[in-house]
Structure 1
């Protein structure tokens, strides 16, 4: 009887050890499977840096105001990811009307900012991109020039007032098929009062910035030569020896070129300021003049992405830049659900950085 008890106890112990061994083996197998699955998922993900391999030259700002740094092998499903339209892979930049912003801006952005800055007088720098705008805000005051618009490329100053010698816009009113592409030059204000700065807008296809609605909910006529949502266009920006050269291209549209001297201002007196500027900016007190040397001596850098120009601030604050659009109190998913965001897809892009360029870290230190 005693021997039977010993044998029974031994059997139970053996069975327990066997069960524990199987359990551990299963757990190990589950962990291996999970790790393998994660690795496979990582290998299957197409990152933005796979589509456009130039991210070593940029830091990425997201639509929640955060700076994620150099975005190789990175995605964020709310703001920055890739998609395929059945033919090509695209990098998606998405920014809501309302949310946390970067630096002192009123507007959200999902945008690349160059890690180096260059000086216009010694520059030999270039930015190119092929893109299509997929959405602009569905709401906003039509009298406000920035409403229903997104900036898809920039040159920004890293120094002094941090003004912008170039902003490339796309703007389309609700219910219309075609929108406008135009670009801005912002003066580098003389004196200490940068609140008096203003932009001059040049039409590429469609209208310029100054064409707005007569009331908050009526729209100007649709541009006949405009660009539709989802229609590809390209831009090329070159700054060499102080001259900014721009080229805009799109199938079925006339190629447009422009030049602008970044070293010598043409706006040093109020008499030299255009009627467009007087109409838009003088009524709100933005009636400054530019310093004679324009952007000479200031480090500048490229930006690329979706800088949403529509926001929820009251038009009573500024009739050019405050849109009064729906923001759902900053709830991003609600804004995405009813079209209150900007979305831009980039297929190709490139950057050429001159040997004279230097670190732009000071800009990020000030603004992050």
Structure 2
């Protein structure tokens, strides 16, 4: 195994870090406070090639590897976790087309998505079917040359802002998971509406909405793959997407550690800097150790993502489980090191504390990751 960064990866890290600190970081607190989707960030991400960084050039992407994508997500999340979540949600949408779309769909939808000309959303979760995807109620019926979709999805990041939605619905109600199919739905399609935006604890700028389909009619050409292949597509997308969440966790944890180190070098207690106390030094040593272990395993899982045929369920679940829970411990300690100031909104660790919590929930809770890992161990 090679643990050295390539020149391209180092160049991407510097580019994204400079951009994030200059453009994203100054607005992160404002976006959180205003509960506002940062529309202005999307064209800037596109200009840097970040909307399709690890997708092939023929599909409109940059053609970088998946480790470079993880690095980009990490650096963006370091400065603004909401923007990191918007980007990973976009990847979830375009990934289904990358894995299963035909030539015409790639040209019409995937290429603009990878170029950042179109923002994507991934529409899978339902009010009564988050983890239990097979129980989804949204259905699609072929009538003549069109599919008619009825149902609703919840907690959809980018949902009300996306130009293109990749929607999973049942085409055969009797077949459970094998009756699920994937569809492309364009913004503005009659019958497509949105509920009120969610008022979330953290990553508030990554706005989520209910997405509602009422006799939403789309051409049959918008079926991705074949009928009944939707569950397989969605699970592959989620597996791959968990690496993005792991990268978010690494970036957020790095931000928390840096905030703790910076504060400890300024705060004086009992006539000396608190960074000189061994107890706090050991806390930060533990934070650093967990962070670096999580970062390396995330990059390892990302390296497997480049092998398109490789089913990386176990590795992606391990990366997501470890980094999400480690980031919880790291941010908790960062707030503790700040003392009472860590509880105040004027200090970034307060926002990091709220932003972190979702990492153990979306793209499968920590308990779901353990189920996935155990299944791979005992199959």
TM-score by length of 2: 0.26
More strand by share: 1
Higher RCO (Cα < 8 Å, 6 or more apart): 1
Which structure has more helix as a fraction of its residues?
2
TM-score by length of 1: 0.27
